[in-house]
Structure 1
Amino acid sequence: MDGLQGPQIEALERLQSILGPHDTEFVVSVLESVAWDVQKATDLLFDNEVPKVLAPTQTASTPMAQLELDDTEDSSESSPTIRHSHRGQGNPRSNWSFLWSLLAVPLHLVSGVLRFVFSVLRIPIPSLPFMTTNSYHSHRPTSPDSRSITQRWVQELEEETGACSSKRSMPNAVTTGFEAGPSTARRHTYPPAASDDNQKILPDFYDGSYEEVLDICQREGRIACVVLVSAEHDDDADFKRSALTDTTFVKILLDNDFIVWGGDIRDKAAWDASQKLQATTYPFVAFLALQPRRHGAPSSAAPVVTILSRHQGRAAATAPVLIDHLNTQLLPRITPFLARFKTVLQDRDRDRRIREEQDRAFKETARRDRDAIEARLRQEKEEEERARKHAEDVKRKQEDLAKQKHQAGIRMEWRKFMRNRLLLPEARGLRLAVKLPGNGRVVRSFPPSATLTALYAFADSQLIPSTSRPEADPSQAPEGVVDNIPQLDSYIQSKTAGHAWWGFTLASAYPRREFRWKANASLTETGLRDGEQIVMELSSGRGSTNEASDDDYESESD
């Protein structure tokens, strides 16, 4: 409806007002076949004529654009007698159309009940006008899905014939009956097992669109069997119950891997297919398959889907005629070409799989090489990082060692300076014995007014190596201005280290009492007594490089 223009919409409305409730797409297709002439369309429908086929104008991009008619073995019946018999059965004239429309609703209700009863009892459904669910006057969606239409038609076909679709029976297949053909691996055996020995089997109808069938023929080199029927035809029921359920005919279709598609021309998909296949009489059966191009086409031209044969009318579409045609004409003529085509497809598919395997192997090799390169790069990077950290550690240690040596040199300068300028001369007062590291021991007398700084300075000066002569001691402090003990106290207090500046602690031997350094603290205030034994304890981390031995110091005699 969206693509129709003003005059076309007006013609559609006029024809629908004459016909009553009809499928809109069907009415549009009829009007298109008569160039939108309402009078011709009315005569066509009421006389039940099949419209003349118009040349398709929009099939350049579809598989039908390549369809050719192989008229070498055309079995279609187009005699005037057959066409006349087809014209002879039609719908009632327009004065009966209205009455039929009134009776349609109750008849369809009765039809639904009877169809259910017949399907339960597995009785073939009689071909009565009110027993058909898809009459022209039945209400259907204007644009149904092609797949659902085909599935519905197959279901109605099963109900009407009492037969079962072959693909529904495949799970119950057994190895009895006929000997399976080339498609045994895919379809098991035929006929499938059933609870009833007289169970009839229908072909495996493809539930896609007609265009999909042509595409499968093009891609897979399979033969298509297209079945078109008209429920208004007198021979419709007999064709369905005899030809479509014939055991030999169905077996040929299954064994040779035919793709079967069908429908009723009252549905748009089947109607469109009938126009493309130029069907004029029903039932209609056509066989299509790939064939080399003719009419002077180059040998390198790709094969095209071709109409191999058409069988129109009941006389041309009986099971014996179709079986004889397939066995004696169609299959012997086209099987060699399709076998070669499938061999080419198999070779092409094998080459494609080989290329894919080679590509996968190449990609896998490239991946392993890439992983190896990345692993080697990571290893090199890790080694470089370890080397860098090691170099940084060595550099930091060297810097720390240099800093420690520098600080040790400054402290040694302080010791020599204190030995030269700050040591108090011995005087009567407190006589103290200092046990040095390494079991050395010195004795010194301090005046009562001496401070703890004087005792620490004396003990610190004992760490000067014996090789250093007093004459070489500096007369100035290494840092700041320090000329006496009070100035040394001020200097040490300015350092954040405080007591740690000395690098050792003085403590009594037993019981142990620490005499931690304090600025301006006298010896008597700290609790030191005359003749007390003091132990010099180096702070943790100090080495014994600058520690003196027993021979370097004066010892107190017993």
Structure 2
Amino acid sequence: MDGLQGPQIEALQQLQSILGPHDTEFVVSVLESVSWDVQKATDLLFDNETTKVIAPTQATPMEQLELDDNEDSSPTIRHSHRDQGGPRSNWNFLWSLLTVPLHLVSGVLRFVFSVLRIPIPSLPFMTTNSYHSHRHTSPDSRSITQRWVQQLEEETGACSSKRSMANVVTTGFEAGPSTTRRHTYPPAASDDNQKILPDFFDGTYEEVLDICQREGRIACVVLVSAEHDDDADFKRSTLTDTAFVKILLDNDFIVWGGDIRDKTAWDASQKLQATTYPFVAFLALQPRRHGAPSGAAPVVTILSRHQGRSAATASVLVDHLNTQLLPRVTPFLVRFKTMLQDRDRDRRIREEQDRAFREAARRDREAIEMRVRQEKEEEERVRKHAEDVKRKQEDLARQKHQAGIRMEWRKFMRNRLLSPEARGLRLAVKLPGNGRVVRSFPPSATLTALYAFADSHLIPSNSRPEDDPSQAPEGVVRHAWWGFTLASAYPRREFRWKANASLTETGLRDGEQIVMELITGRESANGQISDDEYESESD
């Protein structure tokens, strides 16, 4: 020991804190074989085949944390050395032979203690195998932390505050408004002797820093070493102390911890520069110091570190929190949380304003769309109405035109088809309305003459026969279409027009009473009356 230098003494102390009570000469020989590299010495002793860098580097989060100037602490920075080789395989074989009996005894004792539910004592040979197995498990930080908390409950016989709160809910006690932020202690307990542990966060150390950054909460980091003699006493007295747990709960601390045998806790110990265990550190968001420019964003700062059993007792920690740490950091955190609340309120107001704006824009858009739709519907209605009016006007004009042409044809047929009255069949035709005409037709007369006679009485009375056209009017030849039919009065017999049919062939008798019946309801799609049933008579 007298010939060791400062870094070598530091490496020796660090390895001894991990291994627990061991022969100093043996530890020195191991360190000398690996050029005083604690990482390689640890891997060599515990047969870890994968080399892991444990010394802090420039890229580690430790470089982003500041140490509170108000705390009287001067942490020692560990140094890593280059690998210069060593008889690693020989030491692995030797250590394996030495630890085989210890592994067997440790396994039997742990099994017996677990069956009897007796807290497992912190002895070196009881945890050597555990260290070896933990170092080879998957790096799932959440499951590692949960396993450590479970082991902590088994060793101390205490229950975490989270589980205790769950028991309160199931047994009917008042649980409070939240299960994550409790402000009373004990939160419950059907058994007054039940010890309560802090509510350990089961995420990663980096997530703890992120929560401190985002929510302005104070973090309490607890690091232990099962190889240390004071480990069991610290867990049973400090971590279950009523006043200590109460102050953590009442002030909404986020508590995180682990055993440095696990990689996650070991990495955190390097970032926090822990040298002695048990180790407790408090971190929180604080303004930047050391000449930082005004307006610089606050940074997560190490507020205090408590190393060793004497510095990490419950009374010391509670007194430190009540008289120093909380009075010093609470005002800034209150302002920071108020700022977060104001920011959150402003964000909600903006969201509500944006939502109201979008809702108003939606209503305006729907109103515009409805107005446009109504205008289109009105335009369509006006257009259809105009088309209907135009079509009716065109139909009326066409009907008038057709009626004019038909009247001209009627006059033309009166002049051409009506022969002078002669003795023969005397027929009486009852016209629409109350009119009645009588005429005698020669026996050779056809139905066309009878129809032309009846049709001529539809010509206005002011139209003189001498004014009838001598030539066929221009337009569609409509002489095959009469627009009426002739039938006997009683019993009714219809005499449908047929080209070149004589009166005697139709069964008409002298003195027959004939009724002229106008044909209605036979208009086609183009507004004209169909004459498909009539044939043209060529004469």
TM normalised by structure 1 equals: 0.75
Do the aligned partners of residues 355 and 308 (structure 1) sit closer, same or farther apart at CA in structure 2, a change above 3 Å counting? same
> Does the 8 Å contact 1:44/1:51 carry over to 2?
no
Q: Secondary structure at the match of 1:348?
A: helix
CA deviation string 1:415-469 (max 9, x = no partner): 1110111123222222222211112111222222222222222222211111222
Mean Cα displacement is larger for which, 293-302 or 88-97?
A: 88-97
Tell me if the contact between 1:224 and 1:260 (Cα under 8 Å) persists in the aligned partners: yes
Q: Which moved more, 1:347-356 or 1:26-35?
A: 26-35
Hey, what's the Cα distance between the residues in 1 that align with 2:529 and 2:434?
A: 9
Taking the aligned partners of 2:250 and 2:352, their CA distance within structure 1 comes to: 33
CA 1:303–1:84: 2 relative to 1, 3 Å: closer
Q: 1:501 to 1:67 in 2, by over 3 A?
A: farther
Aligned partners of 2:33 and 2:86 also within 8 Å? no
Q: Could you tell me how far 1:221 is from its partner in structure 2?
A: 0.8
Q: 31-40 or 230-239: which moved more?
A: 31-40
152-161 or 238-247, which deviates more: 152-161
Q: State the Cα distance separating 1:19 from its structure 2 match.
A: 14
Counterparts of 2:392 and 2:50 in 1: how far apart (Å)?
Answer: 105
TM-superposed CA distance for 1:320, in Å, is 1.3
Answer whether contact 1:465 1:548 (CA < 8 A) is retained.
no
8 A Cα contact 1:428 1:445, kept in partner? yes
Report the Cα offset of residue 472 of structure 1: 2.0
Per the TM alignment, residue 218 of structure 1 is displaced from its structure 2 partner at its CA by 0.9
CA shift, 1:476, in A, is 1.6
Please list the CA deviations of residues 11-52 of structure 1 after superposition, one character each: whole Å capped at 9, or x if unmatched.
999999999999999999999999996995369857999999
Q: Following TM superposition, by how much is the alpha carbon of 1:310 offset from its aligned partner in structure 2, in angstroms?
A: 0.9
In structure 1, the residue corresponding to 2:153 is in which secondary structure? helix
> Contact conserved, 2:175 with 2:187, CA < 8 A, in 1?
no
1:163 aligns to 2:161 (yes or no): no
Instruction: Give 1:377 deviation, angstroms.
Output: 2.0
Say whether the 8 Å CA contact 1:435–1:441 is kept in structure 2. yes
Equivalent in the alignment of 1:408: 403
SS in 2 for 1:111: helix
> d(CA) in 1 for partners of 2:522 and 2:56?
106
Give the stretch that moved more between structures: 238-247 or 452-461.
452-461
Is the contact between residue 19 and residue 124 of structure 2 (CA under 8 Å) also seen in structure 1? no
Q: Structure 1 residues 106, 165: CA separation in 2 closer, same or farther (over 3 Å shift)?
A: farther
Contact 2:522 2:530 in 1 (8 A): no
Contact 1:288/1:308, CA 8 A, preserved across alignment: yes
The answer to whether the 8 Å contact 1:15/1:38 transfers is yes
Using the TM superposition, name which of 94-103 and 42-51 deviates more.
42-51
Deviation at 1:82, TM superposition (A): 16
- SS where residue 505 of structure 1 aligns? strand
Paired residues in the alignment total 537
Structure 1 residues 6, 508: CA separation in 2 closer, same or farther (over 3 Å shift)? farther
Question: 1:20 maps to which residue?
Answer: 20
Q: Which segment is superposed worse, 108-117 or 463-472?
A: 108-117
Query: Does the 8 Å CA contact 1:426/1:446 hold for their aligned counterparts?
Result: yes
Q: Percent identity?
A: 91
SS of aligned partner of 2:54: coil
In structure 2, what is the Cα distance between the partners aligned to 1:23 and 1:477?
Answer: 144
Matched residues in 1 for 2:79 and 2:207: separation?
34
Superposed displacement of residue 232, structure 1: 2.2
CA RMSD of aligned residues (A): 9.0
339-348 vs 521-530, which moves further: 521-530
**Worse overlay, 418-427 or 92-101:** 92-101
Deviations 1:495-536 (A, max 9, x none): xxxx99322222222222222222232222222222222222
Deviation for aligned residue 1:201? 1.0
Where does residue 7 of structure 1 map in the other structure? 7
Instruction: Tell me how far apart the structure 1 counterparts of residues 368 and 225 of structure 2 sit (CA, whole Å).
Output: 72
Cα gap change, 1:524/1:123 in structure 2, threshold over 3 Å: closer, same or farther?
farther
Could you say if the C-alpha distance between residues 555 and 10 of structure 1 is closer, same or farther in structure 2, counting changes exceeding 3 Å?
closer
Question: CA deviation digits over 1:104-143, x for unaligned, max 9?
Answer: 9999899889878867876434335576598232267654
Deviation at 1:394, TM superposition (A): 0.8
Does 2:245 align with 1:250? yes
Q: How far apart are 1:174 and its partner, in Å? A: 8.6
Contact between 1:178 and 1:190, CA under 8 Å: does it hold in 2? Answer: no
Is the alpha carbon distance of 1:356 and 1:83 closer, same or farther for their aligned partners in structure 2, counting shifts above 3 Å? closer
Instruction: List gaps (5 residues or longer) in structure 2.
Output: none
Deviation at 1:557, TM superposition (A): 35
| Maintained 8 Å contact 2:145/2:203 | yes
Q: After superposition, what is the alpha-carbon deviation per residue over 1:162-214, rounded to whole angstroms, capped at 9, x for unaligned? A: 21111122244499999999999942632132332211111111111111111
Q: Specify every segment of 5 or more residues in structure 1 that has no aligned partner in the other structure, as ranges.
A: 483-498
Partner SS for 1:198 = coil
Contact 1:104–1:137 (8 Å) recurs in 2? no
Contact map agreement 1:67 1:306 (CA 8 A) in 2: yes
CA distance 1:116–1:465, change in 2 (3 Å): farther
405-414 vs 85-94, greater mean Cα deviation? 85-94
More moved, 260-269 vs 384-393? 260-269
Are the structure 2 counterparts of residues 62 and 11 from structure 1 closer, same or farther at C-alpha, using a change threshold of 3 Å? closer
- Judging changes above 3 Å, is the alpha-carbon distance between structure 1 residues 110 and 186 closer, same or farther for their aligned structure 2 residues? same
Cα contact 1:431–1:446 (8 A) shared by 2:
yes
Q: SS state of the match for residue 258, structure 2?
A: strand
Distance change in 2, residues 1:84/1:425 (3 Å)? closer
Distance 2:444 2:68 in 1: 137
Structure 1 CA distance, aligned partners of 2:171 and 2:441? Answer: 128
C-alpha spacing 1:18/1:120, structure 2 compared with 1 (3 Å): closer
Q: Secondary structure at the match of 1:442?
A: strand
SS in 1 for 2:269: helix
Asked whether 1:442 is paired with 2:437, we answer yes
Q: Deviations over 1:227-277 (max 9, x none)?
A: 112222222222212111111111101100101111222222222211111
* More displaced stretch, 515-524 vs 400-409: 515-524
Contact 2:35 2:81 in 1 (8 A): no
SS of residue in 1 equivalent to 2:311 = coil
Paired with 2:524 and 2:268, the residues of 1 have a C-alpha distance of 110
- Is this contact kept in 2: 1:86–1:281, CA < 8 A? no
Q: Is the 8 A contact 2:425 2:510 kept in 1?
A: yes
1:48 touches 1:87 (CA, 8 Å); kept in 2? no
Task: Using the TM superposition, name which of 380-389 and 117-126 deviates more.
Answer: 117-126
Contact 1:442–1:554, Cα closer than 8 Å, also in 2: no
* CA shift for structure 1 position 286: 0.7
The answer as to 2:58 corresponding to 1:63 is no
**Distance 1:446-1:88 versus aligned 2 partners, 3 A rule:** closer
Residues 336, 9 of structure 1: alpha-carbon distance in 2 compared, 3 angstrom cutoff: closer
State whether residues 434 and 443 of structure 1, in contact with CA within 8 Å, keep that contact through their aligned partners in structure 2.
Answer: yes
Decide which moves more: 399-408 or 164-173: 164-173
Distance (Å, rounded) in 2 between the aligned partners of 1:28 and 1:524: 151
- Residues 1:16 and 1:234: Cα distance change in structure 2 (over 3 Å): closer
| Greater Cα offset, 319-328 or 189-198 | 189-198
Cα distance per residue 1:267-308 (max 9 Å; x no partner): 222222111111122221110001111111122111111001
Aligned to 1:454: 449
Tell me the distance in 2 between the aligned counterparts of 1:156 and 1:88: 36
- Stretches (4+) displaced over 6 A: 1-39, 46-55, 78-97, 102-121, 174-185, 542-558
Q: Secondary structure of the equivalent of 1:41?
A: helix
Per-residue deviation at 1:54? Answer: 7.2
Which residue is equivalent to 1:555? 536
Contact 1:448 1:523 survives alignment (8 Å): yes
Displacement of 1:158 in angstroms is 1.7
Cα distance in 1 between the residues matched to 2:525 and 2:212: 100
**Cα distance, 1:481–1:338 mapped onto 2, change above 3 Å:** closer
Whole-Å separation in 1 of the counterparts to 2:20 and 2:63: 36
Taking structure 1 as reference, are residues 122 and 479 closer, same or farther at Cα in structure 2, changes over 3 Å only? farther
> Could you tell which deviates more after superposition, 349-358 or 457-466?
349-358
